[in-house]
Amino acid sequence: MDLTGKIAILTGVSKGIGRATAEALLAHGAIVAGWGRTAPTGLRHERFHFFACDVRDEVAVQEAYVNTRRELGEEIHVLVNNAGLGISGEVDGFSSDDWKLMFDTNVHGLFYCTKAVLAQMKKQQLGHIINICSIAGTTGIEKMSGYCATKFAVRGFSQSLYKEVRADGIKVTCLYPGSTETNFFDEIPGTAANASMMQPQDIAATIIYALQTPFNFHLVDIEMRPLQPKK
């Protein structure tokens, strides 16, 4: 897909992978609708538009979708489901509220946003949905059972969705990044972000690559890992 003039909705736009993806989309000519609870600091561009949205709230998602189409145009070409969070802890001491928070954000929010755009993408017979999953969606991780459970859900949703909508000209790509140097690790005890990890720009570049594939095929699952991780 040539991204010039295409409308891309991007959730979790304020920092990390979301911020880097917004900048990459803009660099390739897209019109970016950034959805999030917080606007990215200092990101000012004539083709960037911020819409306040808590993806955990389906009504808020619907409002952001209506506002996006009213301000930017009826067609929606790209959705990047990036919003998410991780909370660590052993199962027997894990907060039920934290468990619900992760599922509301990582799974339910992704579903609400995807559901919002599908009718228009089917009408167009064109669209691309990118779901940011994690290596945690492919293997269990000690003291990260809740986060892994949400990402396994994203994996299953993505693999089912692509089979459901491929006949409508809609691509679905699920990315599984390994360790990436973002603020994700701020709340994970015993793990600190470091320069040997992948960079947010690496994930953003892969998203652009997937979006620019020719119409006749799409990349379904992409696993990414740092080459020389810090021991």
Place 187 in a pLDDT band, splitting at 50, 70 and 90. low
| Rounded CA separation 106/98 (Å) | 12
Q: Please report the beta strands in 6-96, taking only residues with DSSP state E, as ranges in sequence order.
A: 7-11, 31-36, 48-52, 78-81
Distances (CA, A) of 218 to 6, 119, 222: 18, 20, 11
Both tokens of 182, joined, read 């973002």
- Would you place residue 181 in the very low, low, confident or very high pLDDT band (cuts 50, 70, 90)? confident
Q: Taken in order 51, 22, 146, 175, is the CA torsion positive or negative?
A: positive
Name the band, by pLDDT with cuts 50, 70 and 90, for residue 228.
confident
Cβ neighbours of residue 145 closer than 8 Å, sequence gap 6 or more: 91, 94
Query: Structure pTM?
Result: 0.94
Q: What is the pLDDT of residues 131-145, one digit of tens each?
A: 999 999 999 999 999
Q: Supply 226's token pair.
A: 């740092």
Indicate if the alpha-carbon torsion angle 196, 178, 128, 62 is positive or negative.
Answer: negative
Domains of the chain and CATH, by start: 19-224 (3.40.50.720)
Catalytic residues: 147
3-class secondary structure, 221: strand
